Amino acid sequence: MKKTSTRLADGRELIHYDLRDDVVREAVDRRPLDPVATTSEIREDRLLGDFVAIASHRNARTYHPPANECPLCPSKDGQLSEIPDSSYDVVVFENRFPSLAGDSGRCEVVCFTSDHDASFADLSPEQARLVLDAWTDRTAELSHLPSVAQVFCFENRGAEIGVTLGHPHGQIYGYPDITPRTELMLRSLGAHKAREGGNLFDELVADELADGSRVVLEGEHWVAFVPYAAHWPYEIHLYPKQRVPDLLALDEAARTEFPQIYLELLRRFDRIFGPGEPPTPYISAWHQAPFTALDAYGVEREDFALHLELFTIRRTSGKLKFLAGSESGMSVFINDVPPETAAERLREVASS
């Protein structure tokens, strides 16, 4: 992997990640851009103990442009985009309309491929490994920023999810504090450690392997399963078998196997609902240990288990799972698809 860092016309950072070491990146952003102006701020909800990002400037962000005006495609034929070069492998750049900025953290965009009509599932194992390396590098870089306590790499895919750009891409958020969802995990992890003395993540994975009914795919270094209490109709959790706190700690064997496992999971997701169905909308989210001291939860960073959660809001053909009264009002999910049934279906649609 070759990494090349440059600046866009408004001062934002752009980084190329290339498969070949001999690639030279010298293209200049020729757009007449004004400096980025953001209104991001973090506000605490004192009643719930969590926080909300207020970012009114995002109302002006690009919304479903035609393919020939996609800001994530390479610049060519007189059409200037966020990427000055005429081609690229993987590109990461600071979001022009960030939810988090300055003292409130950082937001970046990750373009997985220059092919506008592709998806992550269409990538080769070599390309998918390059994305993994980019995620890892950005996690390392953002962890050094004083405004970042936790790094979150994720992909939203599909208009049903709310994606406003069709080009295959994801995002990386550097949060200024530990997120509410991670806090819940840390509290459960710490309580279990104090009560039982063991590691809750290790026991959950061991229990799923022992039961087997919800295991979807298992490799030498990774295991994917539908969790016992899945919130979403089709939801997969992917864990390295050797517990590590973050992407930085993955060994080479796990990195090598990851593309085959992950690409197969994504391809199965697109086959869940049968032939002729549109691509399955999904969210794919890496959960990593925060880069702050975790003494308040009674755990250490090494107690946390890196894992990826992949889920879709489509519950059956042509129907979505909406977060209605119970889910949105009280955070109590009601799942129409038994996890064992979901796992069976995800095994049925394995690649031949």
Structure tokens at 293: 């001291």
Q: From residue 11, how far is each of 34, 80, 104, 129, 245 by CA, in Å?
A: 9, 16, 18, 29, 33
Question: Cα-Cα-Cα-Cα dihedral of 84, 89, 90, 95, to 10°?
Answer: 20
Distance CA(304)–CA(85), nearest Å, equals 39
pLDDT at position 184, please? 97
Structural domain harbouring 299: 180-348
Q: Is 167 labelled as part of a ligand binding site?
A: yes
Place of tokens 């492998």: 89
Q: Tell me the three state secondary structure of residue 1.
A: coil
Whether residues 217 and 100 share a domain: the answer is no
167 plus 218 within the same structural domain = no
* Listed residues 123, 142, 175: the one ending a domain: 175
Looking at the structure, tell me whether residues 167 and 185 fall in a common domain: no
Q: Do residues 198 and 166 both lie within one domain?
A: no
Residue 70, marked binder = yes
Residues 120 and 198 in one domain: no
Q: Count structural domains, the chain.
A: 2
pLDDT for 278:
92
Q: Are residues 213 and 313 in the same domain?
A: yes
- Rounded distance, CA 216 to CA 342, Å? 9
Q: How far, in Å, CA of 59 to CA of 63, rounded?
A: 9
Coil, strand or helix: which one is 348? helix
3-class DSSP state of 138:
helix
Rounded CA-CA distance 177/97 in Å is 20
Active site residues: 169
Per-residue pLDDT of the chain (352 residues; tens, 9 = 90+): 999 999 999 999 999 999 999 999 999 999 999 888 788 899 999 999 999 999 887 766 776 788 889 999 999 988 999 999 999 999 999 999 999 998 999 999 999 999 999 999 999 999 999 999 999 999 999 999 999 999 999 999 999 999 989 999 999 999 999 999 999 999 999 999 999 999 999 999 999 999 999 999 999 999 999 999 999 999 999 999 999 999 999 999 999 999 999 999 999 999 999 988 899 999 999 999 999 999 999 999 999 999 999 999 999 999 999 999 999 999 999 999 999 999 999 999 999 7
Residues 263 and 292 in one domain: yes
CATH number of residue 274's parent domain: 3.30.428.10
User: What element of type H or E holds 301?
Assistant: none
The answer on 148 and 212 residing in a single domain is no
Single residue among 175, 208, 241 that ends a domain in this structure? 175
Question: What is the reported pTM?
Answer: 0.96
- Ramachandran region of residue 274, left (φ > 0), alpha (ψ -120 to 50) or beta? left
- Separation CA 93–CA 141 (nearest Å): 13
Residue of 33, 24, 117 lying closest to 73 (CA atoms): 117
Indicate if 103 and 154 belong to the same structural domain.
Answer: yes
**DSSP one-letter code for 136:** H
Is 192 annotated to bind a ligand? Reply is no
Last residue of a domain, one of 124, 146, 175: 175
Residues 99 and 225 in one domain: no
Domain co-membership, 161 together with 228: no
The C-alpha atoms of residue 230 and residue 337 are separated, in whole angstroms, by 9
d(CA 30, CA 10): 10
Annotation-wise, does 111 bind a ligand?
no
Query: 160 and 201 share a domain?
Result: no
